[in-house]
Amino acid sequence: IIEKACKNAPNFSIHYKKLQRSVAISGRSQSTLTNYSRCLAQMALYLQCDLLDLDDDAILDYLHHLKRKHQTPSDSFFKHTVYGLRYLFRLYDKASSNVILPSIARPKKYPVVLSGQEVKALLIPPALLRHRLIIGLLYGCGLRNHELCKLKITDLDLERQMLHVREGKGRKDRYVPLCPMLVRGIKNYLEAEHPVEHLFNGKSRTGEYVAMSALGVQWAIREARRLSGIKKKVTAHCLRHTYATHLLEMGVDIVTLKELLGHAHIETTMEYLHVARLGRSSAFSPL
């Protein structure tokens, strides 16, 4: 849709190149550029005009159209459209114009967290050691999906039982500990599979070894959940939430947990305090 907008929407190719340059220079992620550009491309194609020429009413009419289409203003497409417009206007110094974009309140949702028994149940069904190891690393080290995919064999320090996570969110490195069970599993996997460069390999269309895709990780988790019979929605991030919650319940302090998760702000980590069962004053059901 971006390519289509560059060809058919007025001046969109110029705006897209400017977005690309700004995102690259600022060090923002590729997903930021993709999300903003797709939403802006759809808007430009729908309205068939230069986005910088839109007046307040035209923008609000389009956002109203999105709200009705996606049911809720917190929908990710609506959100990325608003954020993308703000970013584009800043690039062209339109931040001081009369264009008023709505603020988006973040929904107060607590994460899905598995019990210890559910984690065990999830690890049993996969027939391949590779898939068990994927689930084990996501839960045992609190990794994000893209961090797992980028893991290289050289990032493993099995002797010290440490894992080097390179360029996580915000392009920050961190070290996380490995448990003896994961160390044994990784050693067995390396001896059996002989991965090339990345710990988990995929193959490109030309047959070259590349890093495993995020979709491959999602498929492995989805299959394990289906075979285990767990009813909760289990994702890579659910396993990261479970890692954080279980560590808090086991006595790890909030500052240490912040460093293990690679959070930029302690407020993000403190959200887990609402989920974890802590101390003698933990809530309970009176029934």
pLDDT, one tens digit per residue, over 66-87 is 888 766 555 788 888 888 998 8
pTM over 0.85: no
DSSP string for residues in 199-211: SSEEE-TTS-EEE
Residue (of 116, 130, 109, 149) closest to 242 by Cα position: 116
- Asked whether the predicted pLDDT for residue 156 surpasses 60, the reply is yes
Q: What is the pLDDT of residue 82?
A: 87
Q: What is the pLDDT of residue 26?
A: 83
Which residue type does 285 have? S
For the segment 11-24, the average pLDDT, to the nearest whole number, is 91
- Asked whether the predicted pLDDT for residue 285 surpasses 70, the reply is no
As a dihedral over the C-alpha atoms of residue 169, residue 173, residue 175, residue 176, rounded to 10 degrees, the angle is: 10
- Asked whether the predicted pLDDT for residue 61 surpasses 80, the reply is yes
Cα dist from 256 to 64, 144, 173, 207, 259, whole Å: 44, 18, 15, 42, 5
Q: pLDDT digit string (tens) for 210-265? A: 889 999 999 999 999 999 999 999 999 999 999 999 999 998 999 999 999 999 88
Who has greater pLDDT, 105 or 2?
2
Q: What is the pLDDT of residue 205?
A: 79
Strand-strand pairing, 201-203 and 209-211: antiparallel
- Asked whether the predicted pLDDT for residue 155 surpasses 60, the reply is yes
Q: What is the pLDDT of residue 167?
A: 81
Strand-pair partners of 157: 162
Q: Which residue numbers are catalytic?
A: 144, 169, 237, 240, 263, 272
- Asked whether the predicted pLDDT for residue 279 surpasses 80, the reply is no
